[in-house]
Amino acid sequence: MRGCGMGGAAGVDLWMVGSIGIDDVETREAKRAELLGGSLPYATAAASFFARAGAVGVVGSDFPEAFERRWRAFGTDLSGVQHVPGATFRWAGRYEENMIDRTTLKTELGVFASFSPRLPEAYRAARYVLLGNIQPELQAHVLKQATGARFVALDTMNLWIGTARPALLKVLRRVDLLTVNDGEARQLTGLWNVCACAEALLKMGPSHVVIKKGEHGALLFSKTGGPFIVPAYPVRTLTDPTGAGDTFAGAFMGYLARARRVSGPVLREALLHASALASFGVEGFSLERLESLRAAEVAARVRALKRMIAV
């Protein structure tokens, strides 16, 4: 077992744990196979526009070196990624014409099934952490190693809400922010109204909750106030929605890490920047659009979002 060989982790502003995969994706635009996927590449790539992120995950012996080179090009530190014998996590999905509903065609966990995250020593002092969408037990396991963490965000999904609820509720008490979509918020709380869901979620432990509503934007609720609503940027070219939520979460945490503080105004700016990055990510398959993206484009789209919500 070894790391990816990125080199030392000095200078990492935040670290993230999640899945790393090889995807086959079919949308109304095209059908593409053997794409770099998983939550971790999307989240760290988005964070790289604001801060230097470290990745904690696992890949198999079939993980292409070309994927590794592309990922490192974002400045992501990969010393927390384990290489183990076996097959990398693989997923295949087909999106319906509306680009919202999708059918999972294949899920092969491979080495991800026995993944036990280990935090590199140099990551332990990082103040910002994103616990990506993995089993709650693993989220709790790696969080215990984060001695320097000061602001921890957690992402989850309907699978863990349904199958690992006690463990999820336990780790929720240890984080500062929860990010879920509206369906997951309703499943976790048993409530329908989004504001009521947010109130119930805040009582579970986190100080802040972001509820994502896809093409309808996202809402930020805090124990100290809110909500703050940011729209989704109306993209003209919707190519592949895969990883949009991970891109959103990664950009959000990257912005907080760059700001080096958490306050109401900073959280609102982070939400706007997250919405902007997510809108770019869906314009291409995998990380292709993020690879060509420039900081000036991000800034322009953030300004456009601010104009949309100005009165």
Give the Cα separation of 233 and 174 in Å (integer). Answer: 32
- Cβ pair 89, 19 in contact under 8 A: yes
Domain count, the chain: 1
Residue 11 has pLDDT above 90, yes or no: no
Residue 75: domain span: 14-309
The answer as to whether 18 is a domain residue is: yes
The answer as to whether 1 is a domain residue is: no
Q: What is the pLDDT of residue 214?
A: 86
Any idea what the CATH number is for the domain that residue 302 is in? 3.40.1190.20
AA letter at 207: S
**pLDDT band at residue 215 using 50, 70 and 90 as cut-offs:** confident
The answer as to whether 4 is a domain residue is: no
Q: What is the pLDDT of residue 8?
A: 42
The answer as to whether 161 is a domain residue is: yes
pTM score: 0.94
CA-closest candidate to residue 70, choices 44, 31, 51: 44
- pLDDT digit string, tens, across residues 52-105: 999 999 999 999 999 999 999 999 999 999 999 999 999 999 999 999 899 999
Give the Cα separation of 255 and 246 in Å (integer). Answer: 14
Q: What is the pLDDT of residue 226?
A: 76
Q: What is the pLDDT of residue 225?
A: 80
- pLDDT digit string, tens, across residues 150-202: 999 999 999 899 999 999 999 999 999 999 999 999 999 999 999 999 999 99
pLDDT > 90 in the chain, percent: 93
First to last CA, the chain: 56
- Whose tokens are 């079939």? That residue is 62
Mean pLDDT calculated for residue range 291-309: 97
Residue 10 has pLDDT above 60, yes or no: no
Burial 282-303 (b: 16+ CB within 10 A, else e): bbbbbbbbbeebeeeebeebbe
- pLDDT digit string, tens, across residues 256-273: 999 999 999 999 999 999
The answer as to whether 277 is a domain residue is: yes
